[in-house]
Amino acid sequence: MKQRLRRERRHRRLEAAKNTAQEVLLPAALLIALGLAFIYAIFMTQEPPETELEAMPQGIFHLEDYLTEKAAYEAAEKEEAERLLSMVQAARERYQVQQEETWAEYISQAAEQEAPEPEAGGSISSEDADILMKMAMAEAEGEDTEGKALVMLVILNRMKADGFPDSAYTVISQEDAFTSYINGRYAAAEPDEDCRAALNLIESGWDESQGALYFERTSSRSTWHSRNLKKLFVHGNHTFYTEGDL
């Protein structure tokens, strides 16, 4: 009898424990299952992004667009600046070329309008050299080399002075300027080696003419030259004069 009662009490305790376990564990299991289902729904059912950019926030795309537009704007600005710089450089080069051409034209015109002034020691044109040697032969054939050179220097001094022509031929052919040109002696003159030596002396820089503009054969008589011009010096058979106070 007692054994049967003990088995019944043990059975009731097992049933009570089973019921208690079911009452506690079942809700917990349900909660765990629901949690797992929720997690699965969130993470396992979403499709993965096709690219990494699709997973980035939308603001990243706006920044990329801005940077792209900024780079394009800066490239356009640089291109425009280079174009303007090229135009400025081209304009400056054209201006320089025009200035050089204008200056060259001015120099050319000035050279044509102004005859160069011959200077002692300077270069004398071949045409003027022939005229000077013929005049030295016609006017100073019997004079020494320096005497011939002084006659040439009178012509050169006149070419530089105001009130006289500026070329050798127009100086000697001026009315009543040189007797040898008037009487034909100049036309017939044949310069000798001493005339060439006199020209070389002048071209070397020699000039003791004192700026003489006139000369005549020395005479003890009163002449137009001695009455109206300033006497400078006598060399050989010639007396040399210049304009100014007596």
Q: Is 49 helix (H, G, I), strand (E, B) or coil?
A: coil
Residue 144 sits in a domain whose CATH number is: 1.10.10.2520
Residue 62 maps to a domain: no
pLDDT value of position 152: 94
Name the domain count of the chain. Answer: 1
Structure tokens at 91: 């304009």
pLDDT value of position 42: 47
- Alpha helix positions (H), 114-192: 126-140, 145-160, 168-172, 179-182, 185-188
Residue 135 maps to a domain: yes
**Contact at 8 Å (CB) between 212 and 147?**
no
pLDDT value of position 14: 58
pTM of the model: 0.51
Structure tokens at 172: 């000697």
Q: Is 140 helix (H, G, I), strand (E, B) or coil?
A: helix
In Å, how far from its chain's centre is CA 221? 67
Give the domain range for residue 135. Answer: 126-242
Residue 218 maps to a domain: yes
Rg (CA), the chain: 61
The position carrying tokens 């005229």 is: 131
pLDDT in tens, the chain (246 residues): 555 665 666 666 656 655 555 555 555 555 555 555 555 554 444 444 444 445 445 555 567 777 788 788 888 888 887 887 777 787 778 877 887 888 777 677 766 665 544 444 457 888 999 999 999 999 988 999 999 999 999 999 999 998 898 889 999 988 888 888 888 888 888 999 999 999 999 999 999 999 999 998 888 898 888 899 999 999 999 999 998 765
Residue 21 maps to a domain: no
Beta bridge partners of 217: 238
**Contact at 8 Å (CB) between 204 and 119?**
no
Residue 188 maps to a domain: yes
Residue 191 maps to a domain: yes
Residue 101 maps to a domain: no
Residue 116 maps to a domain: no
Structure tokens at 46: 């979403």
Beta bridge partners of 238: 217, 235
